[in-house]
Amino acid sequence: MSAEMNGAFVPGNDLRAQIEQLRRHSPGVYRRIDLDRVESWECERARNGAHRDDFDADTAGGRGSSYVRAQVLNVDARAYGIGRLMELMRPAPGEQDTADRRTIVDLLGGNGLVRQVCARLGIPDVEVVTCDASPHMVQTAWAAGIPALLQRAERQLFQTESVDGVLLAYGSHHIPAEDRGVVAEDAYRVLRRGGTFLLHDFEAGSPMDTWFTTVVDPYSQTGHEFAHFTADEIQEYLIKAGFDTYEVVEIDDPYTAVGETPETAELNLGEYLVNMYGLCRIQESLGEQEAFRWALDRAKQIFQYDNGDGEPLRGTLEYDSDLRSWRMTIPRKALVGVGRRL
């Protein structure tokens, strides 16, 4: 059903209504959609029913409401890493970029965070198309005025050789192992010549993996039993999908929060973590403020990296003179597979 939310037209779970809204308001995106694939997928959805949706509303058993709350309260929490991804999305050195405005499909777009951050970072030559398999996420994006498309990462609805970039990030490990190669192959299909596919995740055995296993799995409503990627696995997907050039790189992808005082900055980051991962059980046990402190303390303990100089890279609390605020940063390192179609 379609509805009006916050003054914005929201086409609900109706894929046809979403596409009609794209036709009216984002004709450039609409022209890239393969209507035959839309019809085929709608028939498949009708036969198979709903998939598991960890990002449904909290009241429906997911953690989508709290996830969205985290992004609204701190839209810049992951801005640095998103900025690095957009840099990697650009053509390789020596390649000419003929597009005035590059169209990038954000496969796990949620409520449109990457699109929002690109606007805040002042990246004018990129149009991010928010897509997600969660109806709740897609509805939330539309309610915020962000056009979004309900699709699964392994079943893109875009025409062959129609877009400039495909991003699979911030939740890639939710893709079942048997579908991961299919996602890479379909990304290759929809990319134009000169296009780039980025596969981003946090390496198996990394601090992020530990965080999910020891914090998110036991203390969230949804649990978190998903296998993370390895560098070799990412490279294998890129090779088998047919990318002409490929590499796996490591990037810094920290969490940050600011506040007027050191304590406020720390609590704001703790609040972000509790909301981001839906840590409702620890909040019920400890209460709100203590849950925020607990989450930050656990993050400080878990997110430490070997810098190679004998001093571990760990959380920092610093005064930002430009913002006139204190900034709390928790380091994270992510793997990114970069596949280019030449």
The per-residue pLDDT for 10 is 76
Question: Does residue 249 sit in the same domain as residue 301?
Answer: no
**Two tokens, residue 124:** 């004018």
Other C-beta atoms closer than 10 Å to the C-beta of 4 total 9
- Within a domain: residue 176? yes
Q: Is the pLDDT of residue 4 over 60?
A: no
pLDDT of amino acid 197: 98
Total domains in the fold of the chain? 2
State whether 123 and 57 are in the same domain. Answer: yes
Is residue 221 assigned to a domain? no
Gap between the Cα atoms of 145 and 335, Å rounded: 31
pLDDT in tens, 70-127: 999 999 999 999 999 999 998 876 665 656 789 999 999 999 999 999 999 999 889 9
Same domain, 99 and 193: yes
Q: Please indicate, yes or no, whether residues 235 and 264 belong to a single structural domain of this protein.
A: no
pLDDT at 6: 47
Tell me: pLDDT of 258 over 90. yes
- 49 and 28 part of one domain: yes
Please name the amino acid found at residue 36: D
Does 265 lie in the same domain as 175?
Answer: no
Measured distance CA(138)–CA(150) in Å, rounded? 6
Residues 242 and 268 reside in one and the same domain:
no
324/241 Cα distance (integer angstroms): 48
Does residue 92 lie within any of the structural domains? yes
* pLDDT given for residue 211 in this prediction: 98
Task: Identify whether 181 is part of a domain.
Answer: yes
Q: Is residue 295 part of a domain?
A: yes
Q: Is residue 179 assigned to a domain?
A: yes
**Can you give the pTM of this predicted structure?**
0.94
| Rounded-to-integer distance, Cα 34 and Cα 46, Å | 19
C-alpha span between 267 and 197 (Å, rounded):
36
CATH number at residue 59: 3.40.50.150
Q: What pLDDT score was predicted for residue 221?
A: 94
Range(s) of the domain holding residue 185? 3-205+226-253+336-341
Within a domain: residue 215? no
Could you tell me if residue 216 is inside a domain?
Answer: no
Give the mean pLDDT of the chain: 93
Interval 27-57: pLDDT, tens: 999 999 999 999 999 998 888 877 789 999 9
What pLDDT, on the 0 to 100 scale, is given for residue 18?
94
Phi, psi values for residue 312, rounded to 5°: -70, 145
Identify the pLDDT of residue 309: 79
Give the SS3 label for residue 93. coil
Contacting residues for 136 by C-beta, under 8 A, at least 6 apart: 53, 55, 56, 57, 60, 62, 64, 65
* pLDDT beyond 60 at 273: yes
What does DSSP assign to residue 229? P
